């Protein structure tokens, strides 16, 4: 994937400014973030942000949950989150997976985590690696977890396997980035719907649709060109066609809200 304009500018801009801009415009890029009331239940105890990046999810979750645990493997991003997030956010510098220890985190050449595509699973875009601590969500000893967001660019299945006890016990809402160009989607859907009894939901426009009636792989194939446009261009241009790459999994017959999507990115225009 070619380097976008935003990725070229990132090394020249202070991290705190990048983080502030990312938090401001990200709901336009990922409108589910503007629908936290649909995702994160009222009275949320603990929310978990796996793959914190610059913190757009951690900051908003902090206003809805009593406590937020953010897992971010890139060292300088974890330090930035530790000093720049609200007091109820606990930041852990590590990669989540299915076993504790040390793992190799892969990044594109010249990228230090700014592009948000680092992963424990190496792809053709990755050229360099750093060793990072590795943990399981079950190993964190968390309780009353009501919401988990996972964005780990291909390592989703190991993260879920490492959270088996948490998912079985607390039945949290799970918001997971799934992209067929990175890894097969079916094993993750089968684990959550078949084994754990969850149901998937997607937000292609302004209403939630059941994943079972939405061909996510075909949709991503049709709109894959959007991915190469980069975050900045996708924020500054109209939302449609939208590239859907995240699924909300809810347990026990729960359904997401039905309110129309708010466009928090009107300022970007």
Judge whether 109 lies within some domain. no
Asked whether 201 and 175 are in contact (CB, 8 A), the reply is no
Judge whether 190 lies within some domain. yes
**Collapsed DSSP state (helix, strand, coil) of residue 203:** coil
**Collapsed DSSP state (helix, strand, coil) of residue 251:** strand
Total domain count for the chain?
1
Least confident of 17-26, 102-111, 174-183: 17-26
**Total residue count of the chain as it appears in this document:** 269
257 has pLDDT over 90: no
213 has pLDDT over 90: yes
Question: What's the pLDDT score for residue 261?
Answer: 44
d(CA 14, CA 7): 13
Tell the burial category of 143 from Cβ atoms under 10 Å away from its Cβ (0-12, 13-18, 19+): exposed
Judge whether 107 lies within some domain. no
Q: What is the mean pLDDT of residues 151-180?
A: 96
Which residues span the domain enclosing 220?
Answer: 5-96+136-268
For 53-104, how does the pLDDT look when each residue is reduced to its tens digit (9 = 90+)? 999 999 999 999 999 999 999 999 999 999 999 999 999 999 999 999 999 9
Least confident of 112-116, 117-121, 194-198, 210-214: 112-116
Q: What is the CATH number for 27?
A: 3.40.50.150
232 has pLDDT over 70: no
Judge whether 108 lies within some domain. no
């Amino acid at each position: 994937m070619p380097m976008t304009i935003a990725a070229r500018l990132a090394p020249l801009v202070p991290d705190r400014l990048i983080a502030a801009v990312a938090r401001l415009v990200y709901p336009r890029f990922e409108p589910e973030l503007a629908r936290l009331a649909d995702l994160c239940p009222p009275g949320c105890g603990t929310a978990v942000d796996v793959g914190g990046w610059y913190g757009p999810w951690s900051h908003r979750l902090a206003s809805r949950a009593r406590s937020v645990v953010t897992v971010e493997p890139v060292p300088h991003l974890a330090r930035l989150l530790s000093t720049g997030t609200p007091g109820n956010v606990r930041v852990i510098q590590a990669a989540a997976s299915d076993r504790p220890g040390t793992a190799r985190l892969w990044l594109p050449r010249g990228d230090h985590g700014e592009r948000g595509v680092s992963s424990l699973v190496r792809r053709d875009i990755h050229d360099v690696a750093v060793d990072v601590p590795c943990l399981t969500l079950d190993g964190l000893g968390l309780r009353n977890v009501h919401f988990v967001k996972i964005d780990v660019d291909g390592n989703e299945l190991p993260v879920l396997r490492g959270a088996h006890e948490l998912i079985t016990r607390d039945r949290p809402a799970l918001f997971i980035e799934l992209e067929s160009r990175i890894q097969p989607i079916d094993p993750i859907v089968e684990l959550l719907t078949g084994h754990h009894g969850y149901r998937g939901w997607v937000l292609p426009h302004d209403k939630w649709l059941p994943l079972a009636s939405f061909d996510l792989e075909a949709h991503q194939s049709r709109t894959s060109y959007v991915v190469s446009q980069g975050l900045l261009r996708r924020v500054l241009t109209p939302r449609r066609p939208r590239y859907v790459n995240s699924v909300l999994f809810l347990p026990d017959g729960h359904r997401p809200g039905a309110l129309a999507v708010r466009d928090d990115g009107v300022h970007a225009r």
